[in-house]
Amino acid sequence: MNILVTGGAGFIGSAVVRHIIQNTTHHVLNLDKLTYAGNLESLVSVANNERYQFSQTDICDRVALDQIFQEFQPDLVMHLAAESHVDRSITGSQDFIETNIIGTYQLLEATRFYWNALEESKKATFRFHHISTDEVYGDLEGTEDLFTETTPYAPSSPYSASKASSDHLVRAWHRTYGLPVVLTNCSNNYGPFHFPEKLIPLIILNALAGKALPVYGNGEQIRDWLYVEDHARALYKVVTEAKIGETYNIGGHNEQKNIDVVKSICTLLEELAPNKPAGVEHYQDLITYVKDRPGHDLRYAIDASKIEKDLGWVPLESFETGLRKTVQWYLENTQWIENVQSGDYKNWLTQQYQAEQ
């Protein structure tokens, strides 16, 4: 099959592209605008494969999308292109509205136009897979509650509101126009090739540099952590096996408090990187509590029983095994890290994480 992956140079998107190229015989067209978080170096392992190609394209560009659909003739579309960092959405929401809402609309329309013209046999097997987040559900009050596929939407941030909007658009295009769609909502991803603005890579790299390890508020926020390669396997299963119109929650069964994640990284670094920066006796000494972000959700947790029951998917990595692999990867891939840390990125981090005075 021909699989069009939007956002394939991003963290999750690149894992999906690598998974498909390395484990199937399908062809992949990676469509990515290459914003600050898009990194083609994450795809070096597949870049020269004859079944892989790349197009630097903005999903808001309808003319370019129409041309790509006609030339590539996709059998499946996996839509991962999105602005995804909550903190950035708070300080600059416009990009999130344009990419996540307008971009999804343009992609849906380009897909609908292409799909309507297909012969019936191709039409019947075509799928549009929209990849979303558990943050559309807001947060959970009780310690035992879990997000299910029928949990009402209650987004808290500009980011999650924009993703909720895109989810609604996809479902509307299915109901109104008959577009064959499937949707997934995932928990927090982590693993190799993660852009260092997110919690786990930020903590690893700051610790290795002897910098403060910023923890929002009291660090008691709870997240369900999903190893990115487990997620890539799940997404491929959904797009190739799920029934049209279905939604699946994908989680790692790994609920952790943010502060415990930070301490676990410090413990691993004590073992794997014992030669600390000058002046640092213990990595945990670098933990610095900073002012909490506005509207910070307290707890996310996913009930992933539906995807296990319907499609037989379960995560292979526990949080302990996945985190060890992740820390090890960052220790072994210093060139990737150096290349990704641009001046603009470091300036933004300085502005974002100011220790509470």
3-state secondary structure of 302: strand
Question: What average pLDDT score do residues 110-115 get?
Answer: 98
CA 204 to centroid of chain Cα atoms: 19
Active-site hit among 135, 197, 224, 317: 135
For 75, which DSSP code? S
Q: Is the pLDDT of residue 344 over 90?
A: no
How large a percentage of the chain has pLDDT more than 70? 95
In a domain, 275, yes or no: no
Residue 208 confidence (pLDDT): 96
Q: Is 338 a catalytic residue?
A: no
In a domain, 211, yes or no: no
Q: Predicted confidence band at 349 (pLDDT cuts at 50, 70, 90)?
A: very low
For 243, which DSSP code? P
- Residues 94, 103: Cα–Cα separation, whole Å: 12
**Amino acid (1-letter code) at residue 55:** S
Active-site hit among 105, 137, 159, 236: 159
Residue 260, both tokens? 């415990």
Q: Predicted confidence band at 323 (pLDDT cuts at 50, 70, 90)?
A: very high
Contacts (Cβ under 8 Å, ≥6 apart) of 335: none
Are 151 and 172 in contact, with CB atoms under 8 Å apart?
no
Q: Is the pLDDT of residue 211 over 90?
A: yes
Lowest mean pLDDT among 38-47, 306-315, 344-353: 344-353
Cα-flanking dihedrals φ and ψ of residue 214, to 5°? -75, 130
Residue 195 confidence (pLDDT): 87
Find, among 257, 256, 275, the residue nearest to 207 by Cα: 275
CATH number (domain holding residue 308):
3.40.50.720
How large a percentage of the chain has pLDDT more than 90? 80
Rounded to two decimals, the pTM is 0.92
Lowest mean pLDDT among 38-42, 44-48, 145-149: 38-42
Residue 212 confidence (pLDDT): 96
Q: Which residue has the tokens 């808001």?
A: 60
Q: Is 270 a catalytic residue?
A: no
Q: Is the pLDDT of residue 346 over 80?
A: no
- H/E element, 222: strand 222-227
Find, among 68, 85, 83, the residue nearest to 28 by Cα: 68
SS (H, E, C) 79-140: ECCCCCCHHHHHHCCHHHHHHHHHHHHHHHHHHHHHHHCCCHHHHHHCEEEEEEEHHHHCCC
Number of domains in the chain: 1
In a domain, 87, yes or no: yes
65: left (phi over 0), alpha (psi -120 to 50) or beta: alpha
In a domain, 303, yes or no: yes
Mean pLDDT, the chain, whole residue set: 92
In a domain, 124, yes or no: yes
Residue 226, both tokens? 């999903």
In a domain, 271, yes or no: no
Q: Is the pLDDT of residue 26 over 70?
A: yes
In a domain, 91, yes or no: yes
Tens digits of per-residue pLDDT, 169-206? Answer: 999 999 999 999 999 999 999 999 998 878 999 999 99
Q: Is 145 a catalytic residue?
A: no
In a domain, 94, yes or no: yes
Residue 357 confidence (pLDDT): 36
Give me the domain span that covers residue 77: 2-195+224-255+298-319
Active-site hit among 134, 139, 167, 230: 134
Q: Is the pLDDT of residue 207 over 60?
A: yes
Question: What average pLDDT score do residues 208-232 get?
Answer: 94
What is the maximum alpha-carbon separation in the chain? 68
